[in-house]
Amino acid sequence: MTTSGGQETGRIETFSDGVFAIAITLLIIEIGVPHVEEAGSLSGKLVELWPSYLGYAMSFVVIGTVWANHHNRFRLISRSDHILLFLNVLFLMCVAFLPFPTALLAEYIREEEHRITAVAVYSGTLAVTAVFFTLLWLYAATNYRLVDRSIDPSLLRAMTRRYVLGMLLYALAFALAFVSPVASLALIVILALLFVLPEPEGQRGTRRRSLRG
C-alpha cells in the first residue's frame, strides 16, 4: 500500500468489497417461495417466477462487473482523502440500492402499463451509479491527485474516456427505457458483458490501446 501524502486505500477497498458482496447476495431474498393453491402445480408457479430469476441474474452480473471495475480502479488509486471517501460512500449508496429496482423490475416487467416505469428506475439507478463512479475517478485522477504518479498519462486519459463513455451509455439505456424497455435491458446486459474484454490498464505504466481504440 502506497501512502505517500495521504491515507492508504486498503480499508476503503475492504469496506467496499463488503458492501458489494452483501448487496449481490441480498438479491436472492427478494425472491419469495411461491405458494401453490389446491390442485396447482409447483413447477408452473416456479416457471412464472422467471422475471425474478432474470432480474437476479442481471443484477448479479451487473454488480459483479461494477465490483471488478471498482477493484481494478483502486489498483491505480494509491492514496485516499476525505473527499474520495465521501464520493465512495455515495457510489456505494447506489450499488446497495440495486436490490430495490431489481425487485421492482421482477414484479412489474410483465405488466405492460408499469413496465416503462420499472425499467426506467432500474436503468436510471445504474446511470446514477455510473455518474458517481466517474466523479470518483475524475477526482482521483485529475492532476494525479490520488493515483500512482508512475502511471502513463495516456492510460489515465483512456480510463477517463472509458468511464465517461460508460456513463453516457447508461444514460442512453435510461432514455431507451421510455421508447423500448426491452432494448434498454438488452443494452445493460451488453454493457456488463463487455467487461469480459480486457481493460486498457492491464499493464501499469505502459501505453496501451484503450477499449475504444
Considering the complex, what minimum distance in angstroms separates the CB of residue 177 from a copy of itself? 12
Which one, of 72, 40, 43, 92, lies nearest residue 151 by Cα?
Answer: 72
Distance of closest approach, residue 2 Cβ to a copy of itself, in angstroms: 16
How near is the Cβ of 154 to a copy of itself at its closest, in Å?
21
Taking 3-state DSSP, the helix, strand and coil percentages for the chain, each rounded to the nearest 5, stand at 75, 0, 25
Amino acid at 72: N
d(C-alpha 111, C-alpha 115), whole Å: 6
Tell me the backbone φ, ψ of residue 77, rounded to 5 degrees.
Answer: -80, 115
Residues that bind a copy of itself in the complex, under the rule CB under 8 A: 7, 11, 13-15, 17-31, 33, 36, 41-43, 46, 56-57, 60-61, 64-65, 67-68, 71-72, 75, 81-83, 85-86, 89-90, 92-93, 96-97, 99-100, 103-104, 107-108, 113-114, 117-118, 121, 195-199
50/86 with CB nearer a copy of itself: 86
| The three three-digit cell numbers of residue 213, written as one number | 481504440
The residue (of 68 and 189) whose beta carbon lies closer to a copy of itself is 68
